[in-house]
Every structure is written in C-alpha cells, then in structure tokens.
Amino acid sequence: MSDSTTATALTALPGSAMDRKEKRKIILGVGVGNALEWYDWTAYSIFAAYFAGQFFHAKDPVTALLGTLAIFGAGFFMRPLGGLFFGWFADKYGRRQAMSVSMLITAGGSLLIGISPNYQMIGAAAAVFLLLGRMLQGLGHGGEVVSSFTYVTEMAPRKSRGLWSSSVFVFVTLGVIAATLLGAILSSTLGTDAVREWAWRVPFILGGLLGVYALYLRRKLDETPMFRAKVEAAAAARAAGLAIPRTRGLGREIWRHRRACLRIVGLAAGGTVMFYVWSIMAPAFAMGPLKMDPTQVLWISTGANVFFMACLVFWGWLSDRVGRKFNWYFFAVGAIVLIIPLTLVLNGGPEVWRLAFYMGIGMVLISAPTAIMPATFPEQFPTHVRAVGMGLPYSIAGALAGGTAPYLQTWLYSQGNPRIFDIYLMVLCAFVLVAAIASPETRGKDLNDGSLVDAA
C-alpha cells in the first residue's frame, strides 16, 4: 500500500477543517440519541416507586420495590452482552451503524414496558414482560455506550476531546432531566394516584416513539475518519493483492489489552455507582424509604441535574488543559471523605433541602470523572479494538457494581444498616484512586494508528 493511499484514507481528520455546522451535526446526532437512551433508562428508576405494585403482588411496598429493583439490576447484567456484541459490531462495521441499531433496541424495550399488562391482568407473568423490556434496554444501552463513546472520541479535535467528551453526558443528563421533569409534571397535574395507576406508562411509550427521530439524525452522520481510514486502507491493500493482517481473535485481543481493561473496570465501577447514587437513585430513594414529597423531590432532582450539566462542561474543558488524571483524583479523594457526611445529612429527616444539599455536592464530585469517561476509555485502545476494548470492561463494571447498587442500598436501609452501603461506596472509590494512579495520561494522544487489522 502506498503512502498516498494512506494519506487519502486519513483525510477529513477531526480538527480545524471541521466547520461549525458539521460539529453541531455530530454533537446533536450523537447527543439526541444519548438523551433518548438515558431517558428510557432513567424512566425506569424514576417511576419504579410508582409502578412497583403493578407488577408484583406484595402487601409490603418495600418488598414490591425490591422486586422492581431486582429487574432494574437485570438490565445492568445485559449491558456486558451489549458491550461485547456492539463493541465487536462497531469495530467491524462502523461506529455509526452500531449507534443506530443499539438505540432502536433500547427504544423497543421502553415501548414494551409501556404497554406491558399488569399483575391484575395476567398475574405473575406480568413481571416477565417487565423483565424482557428491561433486558432489551440493557442490551441496547450497553451498545450505545461503546459506540457513542468511540464515535465522539474519534471525531473530536485532539486538543478538545475532553470538552467534546463532556457533551455526551450533557445530553445524557438532558435525558435524565426529561424523565424526571415528566415525572414532576405528571405528579403535579394528575396526582400521585393517577401516576401510580396508569400515567407511569406515558414516559415509556413516548421514549419508544421518539427513537424514530433519533434514528433519522444518526442516519445523517458520517463514519469516523479513523474507521474509514482502516476500511479504505484495507480495500487498497486487497486491490494491490497484499495480505491483510488479522486479529488474534477477539478474546486474545482483549487479553492483549488486559491491563487497560482492568484499569477501566477499576475506574468505571466507582464512577458508575456514584453517578447512580447521586444523580438517579437519590430521588427514588428519597420518595421511597425516606418518604419525602414526590413532587418536590422530582423538582429538586431536575435543578440538580441542570447544575450537573454546567459542571460537566467545566471538567471537560479543564481536562484538556491539565490532563485527565486530575479529574479522577479529585473525585476519588473527595468522595471518600464526603460520602458518610453527605449520607448523614440526607438521612437526617424528611426535609427536602437535605436532598438538594446531598445532590448538589454529589454533582460537583461525580461530574469530574463523568465528563471525561467518553474520552479516557477509548483513548486506551487502538482503532481495531477500541470499541469492544473499552465497552466490555465498562459494561461489566456497570453490571457488577451499578446494577446491584439500588437493590443493595434499599435492602440495607430496610435492615437498619445504611452505613454498610457507605463503606461499600468508599471501597469502590479507593479502587478508582488506585486505577487512576496506574493509568497513563491520555490527553492529546494521537488516535490515528493506521490499523488494518480485521478491516476485511
């Protein structure tokens, strides 16, 4: 293969040649899909306290909620499968294609939950529909993470990948806000009883239908220059009769990059759990065991997430100037020190200001690593294994740590042992600190490795 062919394949690299219109198209196309994915995902957490009694026959509301949260965890355990399959799919057939397919699967899962029959209609089988819908959400969600993280990282200018990375979770948070705000509006206008009886279905049906719009936006996106370079270079090599290097097999490739995978598990486990604890689980926990007013809780959660978006942009911008590792250090040390004091404030009474304080401080801390995850994790791997390399360990960490966290928190609180959960969170954050120390600094890394492997 000639040097001129390689140069041609690497044209249109992300950077100064990209005009503002193109940048907006990329960020909007990825972002709207992310927002809808996380809207669907979050709606389950937000409305779990409302529809728990619809799918489980239990006199004790806590028992019904635990059953609903167990299915919440099942969605998490589908994410590694989604990360593995769509990571392979994105590395083989392209990041854009993987984003589109994974989004449709998540939207289908959300729609299924919205139209599922309840316990009064078909008895215990109702939980099967809920489980299937949640598993589809988990499968698609795992694929969305690996494909969108990789897409944004490869399309972003090298000097501002951290800032572009933060846009992913800005839109994620918009999805969280949309689900939370819809909950607040439904609760305020229709009343808690109506939401519990039937209106909880509205956000799931709406999320499924809006997936069509997100698909339209993503179909207009270009493939990333790194992936196109790999495919075009492989095509040129075939035309010239040259042999194309093959991978050693997916398992061997992951093993080859096992240290990077282990670092991602360490970083993602604590980061994922604390994101859910401070951003998503806190409102559901406040409405359930803490018995705070649902409408006030949802409005406070909305305000906290708006603040979270501003923090994300700041931390993404800062990482492009001082490096990625500082963000991880700030989060890990700050969380270890403040987890117990913040929990004591939250559990001190039914006053909603406690939730506002808890979430506000938490947002400052968790936004530091969250802003740069979409850049830091793909930066650890070469092009031909980038999506699956970062997606599989990230999904496994989310399943093992994030998927069990809501159930564990609710159960320990019901048993009168909330402090054990705090200690668990501190241990996870200690692992984050260790993984951050062991990680290389990836700010400004050149992602154009010119890999031909597995391009055929």
**Best CA proximity match to 138, nearest among 82, 180, 89, 100:** 82
Q: Which two tokens stand for residue 121?
A: 């209609």
CA 44, CA 116: separation in Å to the nearest integer? 13
Would you place residue 57 in the very low, low, confident or very high pLDDT band (cuts 50, 70, 90)? low
Q: What pLDDT band is residue 65 in, cutting at 50, 70 and 90?
A: low
- Considering Cα of 311, then 316, then 317, then 318, what sign does the dihedral take? positive
> Average pLDDT of the chain?
81
Query: What does the alpha-carbon distance between residue 196 and residue 47 come to, in Å, rounded to a whole number?
Result: 9
Question: Over the stretch 419-435, which tens digit does the pLDDT of each residue have?
Answer: 898 899 999 999 999 99
Q: How far apart are CA 368 and CA 21, in angstroms?
A: 28
| Residue 221 DSSP code | P
Q: Which of 143, 130, 134 is nearest to 95 (CA)?
A: 143
Q: Which residue has the tokens 């650890």?
A: 380
> What does CATH list as the number for 21-236+252-438?
1.20.1250.20
Q: Where are the domains of the chain?
A: 21-236+252-438
34, 148 in Cβ contact below 8 A? yes
pLDDT of residue 110: 87
In tens, the pLDDT along 225-260 reads 777 777 676 677 667 666 555 555 667 878 888 898
**In this structure, what DSSP letter does residue 443 have?**
T
Strands in 220-379 per DSSP E = none
CB atoms under 10 Å from CB of 417, counted, come to 10
- Looking at the predicted structure, is the pLDDT value of residue 375 above 70? yes
Task: Give the max Cα distance, the chain.
Answer: 73
CB–CB of 447/226 below 8 Å?
A: yes
- Read off the pLDDT of residues 129-149 as tens digits, 9 standing for 90 and up: 888 888 898 888 888 888 888
